Amino acid sequence: MVSVVGEMFCNPYTTELVVRRRRESLKRDRYDVFDLSDNLIFTVDGGIWNIRRKRVLRDATGTPLLSMRTKGLVTMRYKWEVYKGESTEVEDILFSAREPNLFSFKTLLDVSLPPQQPSITTDISSVEPGFRTSGRYIGSSFKLFEPIHNTLLAEVVHDFSWRGLITGNYSFKVRVNPYVDFAFVVALLVIVDDTSNLR
């Protein structure tokens, strides 16, 4: 089982989701996540162009499950840290994601989980990646792998169009393998999409 956000998001069957992104303003956009019956599962609000540079993934009732923060301007490579709820405490970090290469035409991310006993000085971006995304040259489609055994965990297909890119309104199809945390995959989708849009 691959549980990062929580075991309640690990179904014993393949999970398929539809994610719709829409731009609400120049500094803010939103992702709505639905199952195939069109039931709302998650929302993601916030934006990378606002001062806080933060996004929050919430369940259908509005309860925050995790928050994503980017530190791209500091490191030159885009780096994200993801925390439980809206915490910023080191003991609440769920995972980090960063670009392995400074110059890449694909959206590639190394994803690291925190060590079992994190400390104040722990930089989990230096931890060996537990997961890796492999993207395409155009758009935000990607596959999520466990790199040691090259095991496919999930696939995200971006319904790419130039019009959607210009308007900021487009959608994704998500397929998550059994016993893989689909909340984790949705968080990575947002990170990959934001990283792609920052290029």
What CATH number does the domain containing 49 carry?
Answer: 2.40.160.200
Tally DSSP H helices, then E strands, for the chain: 3, 12
Is 170 a residue whose pLDDT tops 60? yes
Kindly provide the b/e burial profile for residues 135-150, where b requires at least 16 CB atoms within 10 angstroms of the residue's own CB. Answer: bbeebbbbbbbeeeee
| pLDDT over 70 percentage in the chain | 77
Both tokens of residue 167? 């308007």
Is 50 a residue whose pLDDT tops 50? yes
Number of structural domains found in the chain: 1
Give residue 76's pLDDT.
Answer: 56
At 34-46, the pLDDT tens digits run 999 999 999 999 8
| DSSP per position, 62-121 | S-EEEEEEE-HHHHSS-EEEEEETT---GGGEEEEEE-SSSS-SS--EEEEPPPSS--TT
* Cα distance between residue 121 and residue 26, in whole Å: 36
Both tokens of residue 34? 């639905």
Residue with tokens 């934001």: 194
23 domain-assigned: yes
Dihedral angle of Cα 95, 101, 107, 111, to the nearest 10 degrees: -20
167 domain-assigned: yes
Residue with tokens 């162009």: 49
* Cα distance between residue 147 and residue 7, in whole Å: 21
1 domain-assigned: no
- The parent domain of residue 104 ranges over 7-198
What contacts 159, CB < 8 A, 6 or more positions away? 170, 171, 172, 173
At 93-145, the pLDDT tens digits run 999 999 877 666 667 899 999 986 545 445 555 557 899 998 876 668 999 99
Backbone Cα Rg of the chain: 16
- The pLDDT confidence band at residue 158, using thresholds 50, 70 and 90, is confident
179 domain-assigned: yes
2 domain-assigned: no
Q: Which of 77, 31, 39 is nearest to 57 (CA)?
A: 31
Q: Whole-prediction pTM value?
A: 0.88
